[in-house]
Amino acid sequence: MGKRRVEIIIKGQVQGVFFRQKTREKADKLGLFGWVRNEDDGSVKIMAEGEEEKIKELIKWLRVGPRFARVDEVKIVWQEAQEEFSQFDIN
**What stretch of H or E contains 1?**
none
Domains contained in the chain, CATH given: 3-82 (3.30.70.100)
Q: What is the DSSP pairing of strand 88-90 with strand 33-38?
A: parallel
Catalytic residues: 20, 38
Identify the burial level of 85 via C-beta atoms within 10 angstroms of its C-beta, where 0-12 means exposed, 13-18 middle and 19 or more buried: middle
- Tell me which amino acid residue 11 is: K
Give residue-wise pLDDT tens across range 6-48: 999 999 999 998 999 999 999 999 999 999 999 999 999 999 9
- pLDDT tens string 40-85: 999 999 999 999 999 999 999 999 999 999 999 999 999 999 999 9
The reported pTM is 0.95
Q: Which of 74, 49, 52 is nearest to 62 (CA)?
A: 74
Rg of the chain, C-alpha, whole Å: 12
